[in-house]
């Protein structure tokens, strides 16, 4: 559900911190992303009891532990299908998925397009550091060929995936990109994503100082450029052009694309209603139906 439809509470960013200690390495960009999530939740006034945080496996997939919310830490790459099921079963909750480049685009690479094309009503924040961090530094689908990682000591043999183009091609209805070193911008993009009704995708570049020595904070600062102020966010062609990067290879930072389309839960509810069934989550109706 878009958080716009939920009742609001007045909480500070620190109020969303769980009792679990954050265990990421010093200097990891994920600290900045987590703070952006806390800030976005506070500004949106999200009640913990209306929030479900879901992840797969990886350093970034630890995020739900650090947020006060309902949560599920699922299998490697499978956050998407679990989150889809959770959203369909409980369309009254806001669903937030967090995960990394390996989890989302390698092991879970078969799930991303379907969440996008079905317009599942949830927010997916992908932390991209171009490496597998938790499993100690293997080459990922977004690694640059220059990266000498554990599994590619002489550099990589292939070109990195372009996640923005991938998501735009498959029909995501909200696509944005940020950088962990710009937490305020990330918070705004996450906030917009959680307000959006439909599949909202926020791609965030992040440094992994422990295993990726080329995608540094300095590298990302040079890489990103603000989306032009006159960019039309309803124009798919223009969004794809930005996602392809400019002549100097700069990556866009900001909101690229946003349109309204019926969501998967709305379409399923319409079908259920059409055939005379009961659609939607209503605990009293479910109890009534279960009565002998």
109 binds ligand SF4 (CB under 6 A): no
Which residue in the set 25, 89, 270, 286 belongs to the binding site for ligand SF4 (CB under 6 A)? 25
Which residue in the set 1, 6, 30, 196 belongs to the binding site for ligand SF4 (CB under 6 A)? 30
N- to C-terminal Cα distance for the chain? 32
24 binds, among ligand SF4, Mg ion, none (CB under 5 to 8 A by kind): ligand SF4
Structure tokens at 215: 């995608």
Q: Concatenate the DSSP letters of all residues of 83-133 into one string.
A: HHHHHHH-TTSEEEEEEEHHIIIIITTTTHHHHHHHT-S-EEEEEE-SSBT
Choice between 23 and 89, CB closer to ligand SF4: 23
24 binds ligand SF4 (CB under 6 A): yes
Alpha-carbon dihedral sign for residues 52, 172, 74, 131: negative
Strands 251-258 and 94-100 come out as: unpaired
- Return the DSSP state at 15: G
Which residue in the set 28, 120, 126, 269 belongs to the binding site for ligand SF4 (CB under 6 A)? 28
Only segment of 24-32, 71-79, 111-119, 279-287 that touches ligand SF4 (CB under 6 A): 24-32
Choice between 25 and 270, CB closer to ligand SF4: 25
From the CB of residue 226, how many other CB atoms can be counted at a distance below 10 Å?
12
Shortest spacing between CB 180 and ligand SF4, in angstroms? 10
Shortest spacing between CB 140 and Mg ion, in angstroms? 5
Only segment of 32-40, 154-162, 203-211, 269-277 that touches ligand SF4 (CB under 6 A): 203-211
147 binds ligand SF4 (CB under 6 A): no
Q: Under DSSP, is residue 185 helix (H, G, I), strand (E, B) or coil? A: helix
Residues binding ligand SF4: number (CB under 6 A): 11
- Residues near Mg ion (CB under 5 A) are 100-101, 129
- List all residues 6 or more positions away from 44 whose beta carbon is below 8 Å from its beta carbon: 3, 8, 191, 194, 195
101 binds, among ligand SF4, Mg ion, none (CB under 5 to 8 A by kind): Mg ion
CA distance 141 to 165: 14
Only segment of 32-40, 89-97, 202-210, 266-274 that touches ligand SF4 (CB under 6 A): 202-210
210 binds ligand SF4 (CB under 6 A): yes
30 binds, among Mg ion, ligand SF4, none (CB under 5 to 8 A by kind): ligand SF4
Shortest spacing between CB 148 and Mg ion, in angstroms? 16
CA distance 3 to 258: 16
Strands 200-205 and 224-226 come out as: unpaired
| Residues in region 117-146 near ligand SF4 by CB under 6 A | 129, 133
Supply φ then ψ for residue 165, to 5 degrees: -60, -40
Residue 122: alpha-carbon gap to chain centroid: 9
User: What is the x/- site pattern for ligand SF4, positions 59-98, by CB under 6 A?
Assistant: x---------------------------------------
Tell me which residue of 76, 73, 72 sits closest to 89, measured CA to CA. Answer: 72
Residues that bind ligand SF4 (CB under 6 A): 24-25, 28, 30, 59, 129, 133, 208-211
């Amino acid at each position: 559900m878009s958080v716009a439809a939920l009742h609001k509470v007045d909480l500070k960013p620190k109020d969303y911190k769980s009792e679990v200690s954050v265990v990421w390495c010093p200097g990891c960009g994920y600290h900045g992303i987590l703070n952006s999530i806390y800030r976005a939740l506070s500004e949106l006034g999200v009640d913990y009891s209306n929030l479900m945080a879901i992840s797969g496996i990886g350093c970034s997939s630890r995020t739900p532990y650090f947020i006060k919310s309902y949560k599920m830490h699922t299998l490697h790459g499978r956050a998407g299908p679990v989150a889809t099921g959770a959203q369909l079963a409980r369309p009254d909750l806001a669903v937030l998925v967090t995960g990394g480049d390996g989890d989302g685009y390698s092991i879970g690479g078969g799930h991303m397009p379907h969440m996008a094309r079905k317009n599942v009503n949830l927010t997916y924040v992908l932390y991209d550091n171009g490496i597998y961090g938790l499993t100690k530094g293997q080459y990922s689908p977004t690694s640059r060929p220059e990266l000498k990682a554990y599994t590619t000591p002489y550099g990589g043999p292939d070109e990195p995936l372009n996640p923005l183009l991938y998501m735009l091609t498959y029909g995501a209805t909200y696509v944005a990109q940020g950088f962990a070193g710009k937490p305020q911008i990330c918070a705004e993009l996450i906030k917009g994503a959680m307000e959006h009704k439909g599949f909202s995708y926020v791609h965030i570049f992040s440094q992994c100082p422990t295993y990726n020595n080329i995608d540094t904070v300095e590298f990302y600062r040079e890489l990103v450029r603000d989306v032009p102020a006159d960019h039309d966010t309803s124009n798919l062609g223009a969004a794809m052009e930005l996602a392809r990067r400019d002549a100097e290879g700069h990556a866009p930072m900001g909101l690229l694309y946003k349109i309204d389309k019926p969501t998967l839960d709305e379409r399923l509810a319409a079908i259920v209603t059409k055939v005379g069934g009961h659609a939607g989550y209503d605990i009293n109706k479910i109890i009534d139906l279960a009565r002998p």
